[in-house]
Amino acid sequence: MKISLNTLKYYVDINVPVEELCDRMVMAGFEVEDIEKQGDEIKNVVAAKILKIAPHENSDHLQICSMDTGAGEPVQIVTGAQNIHEGDYVPAALDNSYLPGGVHIVSGKLRGVESNGMLCSGKELGLTESDYEGAEVNGILILKGEPTPGTDIRKVIGLDDYIIDFKITANRPDCNCFLGVAKEISVVLGTKFTAPKPEYKTAGGNINDYISIDVRNFDLCPRYIGRVVKNLRIKESPEWMKKAITASGMRPINNIVDITNFVMLETGQPMHAFNYNDIRGHKIIVRNAAEGESITTLDGKEHKLTPDMLVIADGEQPSCLAGVMGGKESEIENDTTDLFLESAKFRRDNIRHTCRALGVRTEASSRYERGTDIMNVEYASERALQLISDLDAGDIIDGTIDINDGLPEDRIINVTTDKIMELIGVDVPDEKIADILNSLGLTTVLNGKELTVRVPSIRDDIEGRADLAEEVMRIYGYNHIVGTPMRGDVVRGKKLPERIKTDKIKALLCGAGAREIATYSFIGSGAVDTLLLDKNDERRNQIKIINPLGDEYSVMRTQLTTSMLTVLATNISRKITAGRFFEISKRFIAKSLPITEQPDELATMSVGIYGKDEDFFTLKGIIESIMKLCGAHTEYERSTEPYLHPGRQALVKANNVPAAVFGEVHPAVAEEYGIDCRVYVAEIKLDILLQINKRKTVYKPLPKFPAVERDFAMLCDSDLPVGTLEKAIIKGAGRLLEKIELFDVYSGAQIPEGKKSVAYSVWLRSADGTLTDTEIEAASSSIIKNLESVGAELRK
Amino acid sequence: MKEKLKAIKAAAQNAIAAADSENIIEELRVKYLGKKGELTAILKQMGSLSPEERPAMGQLVNEAKQELETLIAEKKEALKAKATELKLKAETIDITMPAKEINAGGLHPLNIVINDMIDIFQSMGFDVVDGPEVETDYYNFECLNVPADHPARDMQDTFYLAENLLLRTQTSAAQIRTMETRKPPIRVICPGRVFRADEVDATHSPVFHQLEGLVVDKGITMCDLKGVLEQFAREIYGSDTKVRFRPSFFPFTEPSVEVDVSCSECGGKGCRVCKGAGWIEILGAGMVHPNVLRCCGIDPDVYSGFAFGIGIDRITTTRYKISDIRLLFENDKRFLDQF
């Protein structure tokens, strides 16, 4: 809400500088978004008298002026304007002066003649007709009267006002107007506040002879007041009104329209003026729009209406979109002679709904949406008539039509001062509490510690002790609140087990040299195509955002790999040669699509690595350490993820449950991301790992007896996985096995075609004693037998 | 014999002194003290002496033997030390050569800050809870005293997934879930991700992070709220940080306040960071609205509580002086490596 300081001063005494006023309003709950000093950009521009005008030798349109700028010596300024005469008083921008928009004026030569400044037009000073008469004429601004040459031009043209932009919180719709803000200022500063008392002359007649009003939906329109004004005298509004309207960001149009706007700005109650003669049948009907009806509004746009929208109709059709915008047909124009004036209360959620549906928002609708006061409807109507009368804008017909379904009683709150202040913990004297509430217009009676507070409908936001506590404190001052340390039983805050485990996994990954990343929870809908996912793949069941910021952020992710690939691509494109990254976040799995209930949000982890020292097995090592940390028994199987290299990927089972997939990214997919090197990613269903109950660690005694190491070298088919050999050895060695280590895989010279040579070291040890040759021999032959059974032949 | 002993001893002493390697010393030891050594030979000749002469001579020989043994041992030690010294000298390296990199990774700056915040509140007895990111209208708005078509909904641009389902716009939704499942006294924080349909720029992100705090008990006051936030602010911004309450409005708290901390850059004098104000707005807070308590089945006449919501991203960007919030989600390794 933008309000000029001079306007506020009309209602309330302001006895402090504007900066202090704003600071104090901020501390009372009215944030100040901006203080604009009018003419702030104008510097070194003065009123000057034209002493002499001489023609310019080298130009037929330039003139050379000798100016009295109050400096003693005349100053020579060249101008192109033709509307000036000797003896005129005009604004002169002197050497090294500034005009709005940062325009800097310095001395120079115009076609060879020295010019020590510039004579200014109203436009150049940022003025409009509402600021100063003649400001918009073509040419130099001719000043009225005989201002002393050298006087600051801002003083001469009255640019001494401040425009303050207050941010009005949603609970204070009563302050979206001059009177509301002025009232608050009076309480904050402790100064006098005066609201205009509407009084006006009427011209006789009876309104009922002119119009009938029928409200058919009291739910959406609880109150409607109509008045009629005849013999309009439409003209320009007075300067003060134009200034007030302009300062608040609206445009002056003519006295009638300006009065309705001014009253809205002043009281917060939107007004609407209809051309009386355009109201067919002289009937006003407040009703829901009929199916298929439409209206062309003041801005010339046609809107198709639906039955949930409220209209003000005449005898035949909608004449106004209630609370939003008037109809083009009944617009007030310069030749309008008679006026029907509406002041009404409409239900805020309905107005909001209509505005959203039609994509329209006006000063009026935004006030209705925030909520208007039903009791204010009458005051605003009276105030508008007072202005019509004062400005002699028309003849007011006697009589008011006030249709309502009953008016609300004031809300009475009975509460003790203790009950209010126990929410705050600050001691405020009982009398002070009552005084503050009274000053805010909440009529309060104090009896001992008992308070009876009468809340008028305009302060609908005040429902109980918490609201009263806020009212008292924002005026008494929040600086009185002194912090007390946390009280209550001494307890240690607990973390959820999932968070504790996740933190450990993160620590492990950090130790493995990985950097944690953070990416958005939504991705592009096409990302699943880029990953080449099968059309039946479950990860395609993505939840769509109804109002996304763009297609690239349009669905909730069902996997983290897309985001990881994007991050890898970003880093690779920036010539970062290697990196390890991880992210722990959620995947969103719909129970059904389109969704009707909250989806499963499952903990998920992704890991991505690249660089010359990284390969499949580095990533496998990382995965294995995570599995170990979680206490999972791990098995690897070949997998068939379409976005991974068909020969370099694996599914990881944790305690027999598929829990992760990892591998080298398929070159075709990498290319789509602009990745030109080998990258490796893992997608881990952390929710599964977090469910595993890790066995409690129990210490195993250190070995007392020596271990025996035996090497086994074998030949087998080259496509036999070493995992199979490993399993065979483990099985063969039985309980004596301590450790097994693959130390060589070879194929090539001296190895038959289609075969490979594999060599393992195996350590055997017993906890019960040094192994005997017989025991070792038995274990060895068992290992060999098992190896042979899977198709490996020992090399002699 | 005495003379002979003297001569042997002198010769040995000279030879040991002149020796310049451990090998020569070993040879000398064998030559003089070995089984066939010169001193051993003298000892063997002791039989030719008279019984009266024998003890004195024996003592002399033993003394000479011990003397030589000590000399040899000392010389050995000295030579070994010398050899070590030479070896170490030869092994001198250029310590300014680059280190063998230990690539420790690290947490994302947002999570570093979240962990710090969790530590602070955990030490004050707050439990850490989680809530869903896809929320129902009921938990995100309705029960937080923001009914449908309430103008307060304009304060936030919400991403909708279905008529009744949305991406939570505030961690406050977790308040309700907590109050539904726990009985007072309640003391919880809920850090997490929140979403608003803000176009991306240097200071806005559609995905950001909040930490919600909630305390409900008998006799909880705004002074308690201030105390907790002061403790938090001092831990995060430094021990002389001041906290200021400014009246404001949130539908789910009453009274509501914006909370400012004294600018840690200028100490409250006013600078570029605080835009001359001396204060930086860090969070919104207030006393839990009676309607919210009621909605969760808690009697607002018996219990009171406070709630606060801290913007984690803002604290992160101010702590590390990150000028553009987009850097947090871009994940350039050179950026991440700095934390």
Cis peptide before B255 (omega within 30 of 0): yes
CA distance A423 to A438: 20
Top pLDDT among B35 and A502 is at A502
The answer, yes or no, to whether residue B156 has pLDDT greater than 70, is: no
A444 & A536 share domain: no
The answer, yes or no, to whether residue A240 has pLDDT greater than 80, is: yes
Q: Tell me what pLDDT residue A11 has.
A: 96
**CB A574, CB B332: distance < 8 Å:** yes
Give the minimum alpha-carbon distance from B206 to chain A in angstroms, rounded to a whole number: 8
A375 & A454 share domain: no
A698 CB within 8 Å of a chain B CB? no
Strands B127-128 and B186-195 come out as: parallel
**Cα dihedral B286, B288, B291, B295 sign:** positive
CA distance A541 to A563: 17
A650 & A742 share domain: no
Structure tokens at A204: 């006789």
CATH number (domain holding residue A60): 2.40.50.140
State whether A510 and B105 contact (CB < 8 Å): yes
Q: Is residue A488 part of a domain?
A: no
Q: Tell me what pLDDT residue A412 has.
A: 96
CA A324 to chain centre: 24
Q: What is the DSSP-derived secondary structure letter of residue B106? A: B
**CB A499, CB A531: distance < 8 Å:** no
State whether B223 and A426 contact (CB < 8 Å): yes
A325 & A384 share domain: yes
Q: What is the ipTM of this complex?
A: 0.85
Q: Tell me what pLDDT residue A560 has.
A: 97
A112 & A253 share domain: no
The widest CA-to-CA distance across chain A, in whole angstroms, is 130
Q: How many CB atoms lie within 10 A of CB A131?
A: 21
* Confidence tier at B39 by pLDDT (50, 70, 90): confident
- DSSP 3-state assignment of A222? coil
CA distance A66 to A149: 13
Amino acid at B190: C
Structure tokens at A221: 């329109």
A62 CB within 8 Å of a chain B CB? no
Torsion, Cα A368 A373 A376 A377, to 10 degrees, reads: 50
Amino acid at A785: K
The answer, yes or no, to whether residue B173 has pLDDT greater than 90, is: no
State whether B127 and A493 contact (CB < 8 Å): yes
Lowest mean pLDDT, pick from A219-223, A695-699, A738-742? A695-699
Helix and strand numbers, DSSP H then E, in chain A = 20, 39
Q: Is residue A699 part of a domain?
A: no
Amino acid at B297: G
**Cα dihedral B68, B72, B77, B79 sign:** positive
pLDDT tens per residue across span B177-212: 888 888 889 999 999 999 998 888 888 899 999 999
Nearest to A586 by CA among A604, A573, A599, A598: A604
- Partners of A213 in the beta sheet? A284
A87 & A136 share domain: yes
* Confidence tier at A448 by pLDDT (50, 70, 90): very high
A379 & A310 share domain: yes
Q: Is residue A226 part of a domain?
A: yes
What is the DSSP annotation of A67-95? EE-SSSS-EEEEE--SS--TT-EEEEEEE
Alpha helices in B203-289 (DSSP H): 222-237
pLDDT tens per residue across span A394-424: 999 999 999 998 999 999 999 999 999 999 9
CA distance A68 to A106: 18
* Placement of tokens 């809908």 in the chain: A525
Q: Tell me what pLDDT residue A478 has.
A: 94
Amino acid at A719: D
* Placement of tokens 């068909």 in the chain: A646
Please give the average per-residue pLDDT across A489-510, as a whole number. Answer: 91
The answer, yes or no, to whether residue B31 has pLDDT greater than 90, is: no
Q: What is the DSSP-derived secondary structure letter of residue A460? A: T
Q: Is residue A486 part of a domain?
A: no
**Rg of chain A, C-alpha, whole Å:** 42
Searching chain A, which residue's CA lies closest to the CA of residue B164? A596
* Placement of tokens 């925030």 in the chain: A370
Give the minimum alpha-carbon distance from B93 to chain A in angstroms, rounded to a whole number: 27
Please give the average per-residue pLDDT across B26-49, as a whole number. Answer: 83
The answer, yes or no, to whether residue B149 has pLDDT greater than 80, is: no
Question: Which of 3.30.930.10, 3.40.50.360, 3.30.70.980, 3.40.50.720 would CATH assign to domain B109-336?
Answer: 3.30.930.10
Q: Which residues contact A329 (CB under 8 A, 6 or more apart)?
A: A278, A296, A319
Q: Which residues contact A205 (CB under 8 A, 6 or more apart)?
A: A228, A230, A397, A398, A399
Give the minimum alpha-carbon distance from A267 to chain B in angstroms, rounded to a whole number: 20
CA distance A36 to A2: 10
Alpha helices in chain B (DSSP H): 2-18, 22-33, 38-44, 53-90, 109-123, 137-140, 173-181, 222-237, 290-295, 312-319, 327-330, 333-336
The answer, yes or no, to whether residue B265 has pLDDT greater than 90, is: no
- DSSP 3-state assignment of B185? coil
Q: Is residue A309 part of a domain?
A: yes
Give the total number of structural domains in chain A.
6
Q: Which helix (H) or strand (E) holds A343?
A: strand A339-345
State whether B167 and A521 contact (CB < 8 Å): yes
Q: Tell me what pLDDT residue B223 has.
A: 95
Top pLDDT among B278 and A439 is at A439
CA separation, residue A618 to residues A511, A565, A638, B315 (Å): 14, 18, 17, 36
* Placement of tokens 């809530």 in the chain: B131
A469 CB within 8 Å of a chain B CB? yes
Within 13 Å of residue A682, how many CA atoms lie on the same side as its CB? 32
Structure tokens at A382: 């009276």
Where a domain ends, among A380, A404, A428? Answer: A404
Q: Is A503 exposed, middle or buried (0-12, 13-18, 19+ CB in 10 A)?
A: middle
Q: Tell me what pLDDT residue A297 has.
A: 93
State whether A496 and B207 contact (CB < 8 Å): no
* Confidence tier at B63 by pLDDT (50, 70, 90): confident
pLDDT tens per residue across span A552-599: 999 999 999 999 999 999 999 999 999 999 999 999 999 998 899 999
**CB A210, CB A35: distance < 8 Å:** no
A281 & A365 share domain: yes
CATH number (domain holding residue A720): 3.30.70.380
CA separation, residue B63 to residues A619, B4, B18, B58, B77 (Å): 72, 15, 22, 8, 21
- DSSP 3-state assignment of A647? strand
Of A519, A576, A595, the CB nearest to B165: A595
**CB A103, CB A126: distance < 8 Å:** no
Give the minimum alpha-carbon distance from A489 to chain B in angstroms, rounded to a whole number: 9
The answer, yes or no, to whether residue B104 has pLDDT greater than 80, is: yes
The answer, yes or no, to whether residue B151 has pLDDT greater than 70, is: no
CATH number (domain holding residue A455): 3.30.56.10
**CB B285, CB B252: distance < 8 Å:** no
Searching chain A, which residue's CA lies closest to the CA of residue B338? A515
Nearest to A154 by CA among A75, A98, A84, A70: A98
A620 & A742 share domain: no
Nearest to A678 by CA among A668, A688, A665: A665
State whether B108 and A599 contact (CB < 8 Å): no
Searching chain A, which residue's CA lies closest to the CA of residue B287? A423
Lowest mean pLDDT, pick from A343-347, A541-545, B70-74? B70-74
**Cα dihedral B220, B221, B226, B227 sign:** negative
Alpha helices in A305-371 (DSSP H): 348-358, 363-370
Q: Is residue A512 part of a domain?
A: yes
Alpha helices in A574-721 (DSSP H): 616-629, 667-672, 686-691
Of B107, B111, B199, the CB nearest to A549: B199
Q: Which helix (H) or strand (E) holds A386?
A: helix A376-390
User: Which residues span the domain enclosing A440?
Assistant: 412-479
pLDDT tens per residue across span A673-689: 999 999 999 999 999 99
The answer, yes or no, to whether residue A485 has pLDDT greater than 80, is: yes
The answer, yes or no, to whether residue A623 has pLDDT greater than 60, is: yes
pLDDT tens per residue across span B113-144: 999 999 999 999 999 999 999 999 999 998 88
Contacts of residue B333 in chain A, CB cutoff 8 Å?
Answer: 515, 571, 576, 579, 581
**CB A67, CB A49: distance < 8 Å:** yes
Q: Tell me what pLDDT residue B155 has.
A: 56
Please give the average per-residue pLDDT across A698-717, as a whole number. Answer: 92
Q: How many CB atoms lie within 10 A of CB A118?
A: 25
pTM: 0.82
* Confidence tier at A137 by pLDDT (50, 70, 90): confident
- The chain-wide mean pLDDT, for chain B, equals 89
CATH number (domain holding residue A294): 3.50.40.10
Cis peptide before B147 (omega within 30 of 0): no
Contacts of residue B132 in chain A, CB cutoff 8 Å?
Answer: 598, 601
CA distance A160 to A1: 20
Structure tokens at A38: 């009018």
* Confidence tier at B278 by pLDDT (50, 70, 90): confident
A474 & A592 share domain: no
Amino acid at A600: D
Q: Tell me what pLDDT residue B154 has.
A: 61
Helix axes A178-189, A255-267, angle to 10 degrees: 40
For residue A180, report the phi and psi dihedrals to the nearest 5 degrees: -65, -45
> What separation, in Å, do the N-terminal and C-terminal C-alpha atoms of chain B show?
83
- The chain-wide mean pLDDT, for chain A, equals 93
Q: Is A629 exposed, middle or buried (0-12, 13-18, 19+ CB in 10 A)?
A: middle
Structure tokens at A422: 């126990």
**CB B165, CB B137: distance < 8 Å:** yes
Q: Is residue A78 part of a domain?
A: yes
pLDDT tens per residue across span A84-93: 999 999 999 9
**CB A27, CB A477: distance < 8 Å:** yes
Q: Is residue A487 part of a domain?
A: no
Structure tokens at A673: 């991301």
Nearest to A283 by CA among A403, A404, A405: A403
CATH number (domain holding residue A559): 3.30.930.10
pLDDT tens per residue across span A746-785: 988 888 889 999 999 999 999 889 999 999 999 999 999 9
- Please write down the HEC assignment for all residues of B156-182: CCCCEEECCEEECCCCCHHHHHHHHHC
